[in-house]
Structure 1
Amino acid sequence: MNDVAGDTAGDGLFRGRTVALLLALGILTFIGLLLLGAYAPDLRSGRHGGAHALSDAATGYSGLVTLAHATGRSSRIVRDPHLFNTEDLLVITPEGGATNISTALHGREAKPTLFVLPKWQTAPDPGHSGWVRRSGLIPLFEPIGVLSPGYRFAMRRHRSRGVPLITSTIPSTIRFKSPRPLQVITAMEANQNEDGTTRILHPLITDGQGGTVLAQLGDGPLYVLADPDILSNMGMRDVMNAASALALLDWMNSNPPSGIAFDVSMNGFGHSQSPLKLLFEPPFLAMTLAITAALLLAGVHAFGRFGPIRPRQRAIAFGKAALVDNSAALIRKAGREARMGGRYAAVIRERAATAFGAPARLPDSALDAYLDGPKGTHKFTDLAGAAKAANDRQSLLDAARALHAWQKEKIR
């Protein structure tokens, strides 16, 4: 009878290499799922059109991001609003008036920030992935609502015919052509700061007809660009516009500039801190690597074994010897070893009577006297009495050895 079903020493269903390969594939797949779960928000490309820094569409700003990076300006994409606390120029491109920009305004009164207002309504181009088709201009209340109610101003659009825009208080090398049509700020309502002072709109680039294309809000480095076509991929087609765009960003940036941050969190491509992501970033990355190394070592130790596989023994062995061993084990577990002395003495009596040819049907007392008759070192009755009187294992063992030695002595 076996304590486990089947032959444990037989060949397995799979070879060791097959099992190792399956385990390796399973572990790699699990790690891949963890990485995708942690970094899935960062892997969103944003190449579906739209007016943001990841978009390759005409209304997007990926061309400006690429150009700034290629010219050594260290442009980067910001997906987390917690990273807005930077001294670098932060370019924000909200796509509607309902976008909440309070996180961008908070704490950046003294840090360079550029808001690019929306202009176009678009629809995906079914023939080209990542392209869009302009379906018209968005209502003016959308760009007006981006900075309201903190900043309230009026806007309009008009035909520009592509004439050069007029710059003031900024380097004269920054020259742009008017987009068609041109979207400008015409007036700003009186707005009060928390300290009671009036917010003033300082025109930096105008159209020469009373409209402001680029303005500075107040006395701090907070800027608003009324027409996004100046910086969009559409505007980057012109070499002069592209060079002026880079020069404008450098002028707005901190002194000395160390980089340009383009926000996409307000365009729906942001992400928040994830506990799962912390496992793959410092300082918790060291702990993750240590745990992984420990698991790998444990796996190697589990697969590496010494010597052949030992088959498990039967719970109940075959043969008379096994039966005797099992019976002795039962007596030992029951704690009745010391009470077996009298029965062992009776077995020795019967064997000695047969060997000595004692008369049959003698009572035990007469048989004991008969066995005491032959001369020897010890008498049978004394040894049998000692075996019956044994009260522990050692005394029983000594008495049994003495009886066995007596029997060998008499049979010789």
Structure 2
Amino acid sequence: MSDIAIGKASADNGIFRGVTIILMLVIGLMGFAGMILLGAYAPDLRSGRNGGAHALSNAVTGYSGLVQLAEATGRHPRILRSTHDFDTEDLLIVTPESGATDISAALNGRETKPTLFVLPKWQTMPDETHPGWARFTGLIPLHEPIGVLSPGVRFTMQRYRTGGGWLTSHDPDVRFWAPRPIQVITGIEQDNKNQDDAWRRLTPILTDERGNMVLVRVGDGPLYVLADPDLLNNRGMKDEGQAAAALGLLDWMNSTGAQSVAFDVSMNGFGHSKSPLKLLFDPPFLAMTLAIVAALALAGVHAFGRFGPPRARQRALAFGKAALIDNSALLIRKAGREARLGGRYAAAIRDRAARIFAVPARLRDGEIDDYLDSLKGQRRFTDLAQAAEAATDRHGLLEAAQALHDWQEEKNR
């Protein structure tokens, strides 16, 4: 018995057509590749809408307003997600959110390049009703802004409520209105033995009505510290005068050969993460990845072109008279007995011709042959029958059988 279902399978009876399978493979491969890419770069693509105090945040304590303003005025701001990008002549703005933030990468190698540290001031919590917004919960403990540059330098700082008024500036084009409350630097801890001697000198840039420093230059290089972030954050950018003063301040601090303003977010937790998976998509390993993908694509094309669609299995034993005849013929062919069937084929033609041509029933074998030979035609039946019986190979048998068939057709006309 056979394990194949009865009936011949059609080429259209498959569950999926070839085009459908190819489309499914393409969609699956694209989805898998997209999943790998997102898995590798998802940490680097975070929007930063967490209500923090950084250049990606649109919260009141964030600096996205300053970034958008700089972009709109042709200052070409850049968001830096890696400390490897700190080697630039552009003004680097760093906004650490706590005193525990490691800022060493922003100090090393930038002794002659402008760098601005904006100290933290506000303690906030996410606004549940507005994603990306933040609500004030109070002022951050004062030891947090004091500890940003520690132990290299430790400021003495204070906060107080002010009645407003203009801050005193060394640049007449940079005029800020004092925020409420204000956070200022009053000096430097002289008894701190861990402080860098080169940073003990403080040069005030912006001062309040009491002479306290709001913006100060540390040491002799272009290292600046802004004590109160409300001069540059989104809270300050809502005022047109404050926004204009902020742009003027950035231009004043930026170096002569600068082409843009750089805002760091790597120290706020939005830096490029290190992942072995990312190596597959970054030079120089990207070339190897593309070569592997091309090789797999060629292997797939070769597989489809070489093998094509699968063929349906045939039954071991087919049904019907035709199948029985085919099986019998196959057995005779394998046994090598085809040439011995000439006489039997001639006998079968004789019997059929006797019925067709109404040969009298009283006639026997030899008399039947004489009667068939007497029929009009170019060839005689007995000659064709002897040729079929005398055939010794398959080719000769085929010619003799064809001649008998043609003789019969000729007599039927």
Same fold judged by TM-score > 0.5?
yes
Q: Distance in 2 between matches of 1:54 and 1:77?
A: 8
Deviations 1:252-279 (A, max 9, x none): 1121221111111111112234333233
**Identity, % of aligned positions:** 63
- Structure 2: 5+ residue runs without aligned partners? 318-325, 336-391, 393-413
- Cα 1:162–1:194, aligned 2, differ >3 Å: closer, same or farther? closer
Q: Report the Cα offset of residue 14 of structure 1.
A: 1.6
Residue 297 of structure 1, CA deviation: 3.2
Match of 1:175 in 2: 175
- Cα 1:322–1:73 shift into 2, 3 Å: farther
Counterpart secondary structure, 1:285: helix
Q: For residues 9 and 198 of structure 1, what CA distance do their matches in structure 2 show?
A: 87
CA distance 1:315–1:111, change in 2 (3 Å): farther
Mark the runs of 5 or more structure 1 residues left unpaired by the alignment: 327-403, 405-412
Pairwise mapping of residues 261-272 of structure 1 onto structure 2 (< 5 A)? Answer: 261-272=262-273
Whether the 8 Å CA contact 2:154–2:189 is kept in 1: the answer is yes
Cα deviation, residue 308, structure 1: 8.6
1:91 to 93, 102, 115: 93
Q: Which residue of 1 aligns with 2:278?
A: 277
CA distance in 2, matches of 1:86, 1:55: 23
Q: 1:308 to 1:66 in 2, by over 3 A?
A: closer
What is the aligned partner in structure 1 of residue 49 from structure 2? 47
Q: Could you tell which deviates more after superposition, 256-265 or 219-228? A: 256-265
| Distance in structure 1 (CA, Å) of the matches to 2:80 and 2:301 | 42
CA deviations 1:114-161 (Å, max 9, x no partner) are: 100000111111221111111111111111111111101110111222
| CA distances 1:51-103 after superposition (whole Å, capped 9, x unpaired) | 11111011100001111122221211111122222221111101111111122
2:234 match: secondary structure: coil
Residue 295, structure 1, aligned to residue 285, structure 2: no
Distance 1:125 1:310 in 2: 64
Query: Aligned with 2:289: secondary structure?
Result: helix
Aligned to 2:122: 120
Aligned to 1:252: 253
Q: Distance in 2 between matches of 1:260 and 1:189?
A: 31
Residue 165 of structure 1: which of 164, 167, 171 is its match?
Answer: 167
- 1:244 and 1:257 map into 2 onto residues whose CA distance is 19
Q: CA deviation at 1:320?
A: 9.6
RMSD: 3.1
CA distance in 2, matches of 1:26, 1:249: 49
Residues 379-394 of structure 1 mapped to structure 2, 5 A cutoff:
none
Q: Give the TM-score taking structure 1 as reference length.
A: 0.71
Q: Counterparts of 1:257 and 1:70 in 2: how far apart (Å)? A: 17
For residues 163 and 264 of structure 1, do their structure 2 counterparts lie closer, same or farther at Cα, with a shift above 3 Å needed? same
Contact residue 198 and residue 220 of structure 2 kept, 8 A: no
Aligned counterparts of 1:48 and 1:152: Cα–Cα separation in 2: 29
Name the count of aligned residue pairs: 324
- Structure 1 residues 266 and 196, CA, compared in 2 at 3 Å: closer, same or farther? closer
Q: What pairs with 1:368-407 in structure 2 (closer than 5 Å)?
A: none
Secondary structure of 1:30's counterpart equals: helix
TM-score normalized by structure 2? 0.70
- Deviation of 1:309 after TM superposition, in Å, equals 6.5
- The secondary structure found in structure 1 opposite 2:48 is coil
Give the distance between the partners of 1:202 and 1:151, measured in 2 at CA. Answer: 14
CA distance in 1, matches of 2:188, 2:143: 14
Structure-2 residue corresponding to 1:184: 184
Q: Cα–Cα, structure 1 residues 127 and 275, in superposed 2: closer, same or farther, change >3 Å? A: same
Asked if the contact 1:59–1:120 (Cα under 8 Å) also holds between the matched residues in 2, the reply is yes
Match of 1:331 in 2: none
Question: Which secondary structure state, in structure 2, belongs to the residue aligned with residue 46 of structure 1?
Answer: coil
Q: Pick from 65, 74, 77: which aligns with 2:79?
A: 77
- Change in 2 beyond 3 A, CA 1:241/1:324: same
Give, in angstroms, the shift of residue 294 of structure 1.
Answer: 3.4
Q: Confirm or deny: 8 A CA contact 1:205 1:214 kept in the other structure.
A: yes
Distance 1:198 1:38 in 2: 41
Preserved contact between residue 96 and residue 119 of structure 2 (Cα < 8 Å): yes
CA–CA distance in 2 between the matches of 1:56 and 1:197? 36
Tell me if the contact between 1:9 and 1:310 (Cα under 8 Å) persists in the aligned partners: no
**Cα pair distance change 1:219/1:307, threshold 3 Å:** closer
Counterpart CA distance in 1 for 2:65 and 2:18 is 54
Distance 2:203 2:329 in 1: 110
Structure 1 residue 281 displacement after superposition:
3.6
- Amino acid of the residue matched to residue 250 of structure 1? D
